[in-house]
Amino acid sequence: MQLCQLPLLLLLLSNIHSEHTEEILKPKVTIIPDHPVFRGETVTLRCDIHDEGVTSWRYNWYKDGSISVFSERQEHTFSSVTESDAGKYSCYGTETEGPRRSQLSDEVTLAVSAPRAVLSVSPQKWLTEGDPVTLICEVNGSSTGWTFSWFTKTVSGSRNDYELLSDSSRGAGGKYTVSSADLKHTGVYVCKAERDNPPKYTTQHSNTQPLWVTGVSPPVSLIISPSRTQHFTSVSLSLSCEGQSNSDGWTVRRYTDSGRLEDCSSSVWGSQTGSTCTIRPTDPLDTGVYWCQSESGENHHHVNITVHIGVILESPVHPVTEGDNLTLRCLYPYTSPPKLRADFYKDGSLIQKQTTEMIIPTVSKSHEGFYYCKHPESGESPKSWISVRVRGSKISVLHILSSVLAACPYLLVTVVLIYKCCRMRVISVEEEETSI
């Protein structure tokens, strides 16, 4: 439609040019404010023609190359701008009491956007009990004048809903800070922003941002079979929650890369039998974080799973303990056996060329990183994070805690004894005083 109108506009322009042969004036369009504005804000377009010889101009505004004038004022104000007002504007002037006309100005773009809440996590979303974490909600391109509210995603059947956090007001300033993460802080978070001053505006829900808090000694483990992080497509994958004593009541839940929370039991992708979830057949859309969930809402042992078409890396699902050997292989579903002679990379650097099995002996903390493998013809595997657990570090925290707890009765007894001791002295002093 705009293309059809272009010839007409050109005609109009050539007309302007031919009619006046004197000096050609080019007006300037300014937009106030001069940065992209949000829906509902006030914006003014202004047309300035600099020519001392002319006392009064009549202004003509065009939008998006249209032939029809949409305004005849020098300043045109949108008191509550909408996305439909966005576009390219130009103006020209005609002398009110004379023959002169200005040139058509250059086009100036008015950009109008809907405020968008953007959620991020600092310093990271994979946490251990006790770690500090901050969720940060911002309105893209606008730093002041907003109040924020906080939600977590919930699952009911195959539906995802949002539930306002009971202490949502804590993050009203845009930062929701947890000084010491607890297991109950695991969840998928979203935020919303509301403008304090008129025009009133509330954003849509932000992007989702999960937090995974790992306990010191989870009561259940998620056992994956085959036991690796990356998996082929179109195969069967079994995930089961196994506890030291009892694994009844634990089911598998996941958070996929598409931002959805899903239960294996009410899904089309898996079937839950007892505490075991079977995914058959696997698909790249199954990529995500999986864990064990109890009916009361407890969740443990969050594990990354990647389903990939083509080359995959065989790496351990669980953290490797310091001092152990780490074995990596590169697998391809279309060769038999699937083991490839490949190159192995850590954090983007080649660490070993042309090997079917890469063994890193006596692993240390410095071996933590993102690993992948690459075969010249078959391709490259996705990256997997391999973490190294320091031997005994968790135990020592427990140790300190348990010794403090164990010392408690003695502390209590000591305090009571001191107190009693003092009282007895006071009583004896009083007795002495009364006897005087």
Ligand X SMILES: *[C@@H]1O[C@H](CO)[C@@H](O)[C@H](O)[C@H]1NC(C)=O
Q: In what order do the strands lie in the sheet with 261-263?
A: 230-231, 299-307, 288-294, 250-256, 261-263
Please select the residue that binds ligand X; options are 304, 310, 339, 379, rule is CB under 6 A. Answer: 304
- Would you say 385 or 419 has its CB closer to ligand X? 385
- Would you say 118 or 178 has its CB closer to ligand X? 118
Q: Of 187-195, 230-238, 262-270, 296-304, which part binds ligand X (CB under 6 A)?
A: 296-304
Please select the residue that binds ligand X; options are 51, 85, 324, 368, rule is CB under 6 A. Answer: 324
- Would you say 160 or 304 has its CB closer to ligand X? 304
As measured in angstroms, the least distance from the Cβ of 56 to ligand X is 39
CB-CB contact of 269 with 160 (8 Å): no
Residues in 142-201 at the binding interface with ligand X, rule: CB under 6 A: none
As measured in angstroms, the least distance from the Cβ of 393 to ligand X is 16
- Would you say 298 or 324 has its CB closer to ligand X? 324
CB-CB contact of 214 with 186 (8 Å): no
As measured in angstroms, the least distance from the Cβ of 273 to ligand X is 25
As measured in angstroms, the least distance from the Cβ of 287 to ligand X is 11
As measured in angstroms, the least distance from the Cβ of 328 to ligand X is 13
Q: Of 18-26, 255-263, 302-310, 417-425, which part binds ligand X (CB under 6 A)?
A: 302-310
Cα atoms in the Cβ-side hemisphere of radius 13 Å centred on 46: 9
Question: How many amino acids of this chain bind ligand X (CB under 6 A)?
Answer: 13
As measured in angstroms, the least distance from the Cβ of 92 to ligand X is 30
Residue 166 contacts by C-beta under 8 Å, 6 or more apart in sequence? none
As measured in angstroms, the least distance from the Cβ of 251 to ligand X is 19
Please select the residue that binds ligand X; options are 42, 68, 325, 335, rule is CB under 6 A. Answer: 325
Q: Does 126 bind ligand X (CB under 6 A)?
A: yes
The tokens for 306 are 């990647």
Residue 303 contacts by C-beta under 8 Å, 6 or more apart in sequence? 222, 224, 229, 289, 290, 291, 317
Q: Which of 19, 126, 38, 26 shows the shortest CA–CA distance to 368?
A: 126
The tokens for 35 are 């940065």
SS3 state of residue 25:
coil
As measured in angstroms, the least distance from the Cβ of 371 to ligand X is 12
CB-CB contact of 300 with 292 (8 Å): yes
175 beta partners: 136
Plot region of 234 (φ>0 → left; ψ -120 to 50 → alpha; else → beta): left
Please select the residue that binds ligand X; options are 71, 74, 134, 140, rule is CB under 6 A. Answer: 140
As measured in angstroms, the least distance from the Cβ of 311 to ligand X is 18
- The 369-388 contact track toward ligand X, x by CB under 6 A, reads ----------------x-x-
As measured in angstroms, the least distance from the Cβ of 178 to ligand X is 18
Please select the residue that binds ligand X; options are 16, 118, 183, 397, rule is CB under 6 A. Answer: 118
- Would you say 98 or 141 has its CB closer to ligand X? 141
Task: Please provide the DSSP assignment of 70-128 as one string.
Answer: -B-SSEEEESS--GGG-EEEEEEEEETTSS-BPPPPPPEEE-EE---EEEEEES-SEEE
CB-CB contact of 151 with 190 (8 Å): yes
- Would you say 390 or 417 has its CB closer to ligand X? 390
- Would you say 242 or 324 has its CB closer to ligand X? 324
Q: Which helix (H) or strand (E) holds 430?
A: helix 393-435
104 beta partners: none
The tokens for 240 are 């089961």
Residue 85 contacts by C-beta under 8 Å, 6 or more apart in sequence? 43, 78, 110, 112
Q: Of 147-155, 249-257, 267-275, 299-307, which part binds ligand X (CB under 6 A)?
A: 299-307
Q: Which of 121, 316, 347 shows the shortest CA–CA distance to 212?
A: 121
Please state the separation of Cα 260 from the chain's center in Å. 13
- Would you say 90 or 230 has its CB closer to ligand X? 230
As measured in angstroms, the least distance from the Cβ of 323 to ligand X is 7
- Would you say 120 or 402 has its CB closer to ligand X? 120
- Would you say 46 or 300 has its CB closer to ligand X? 300
- Would you say 60 or 208 has its CB closer to ligand X? 208
Q: Contact positions toward ligand X, by CB under 6 A?
A: 118, 126, 140-141, 302-304, 324-325, 359, 361, 385, 387
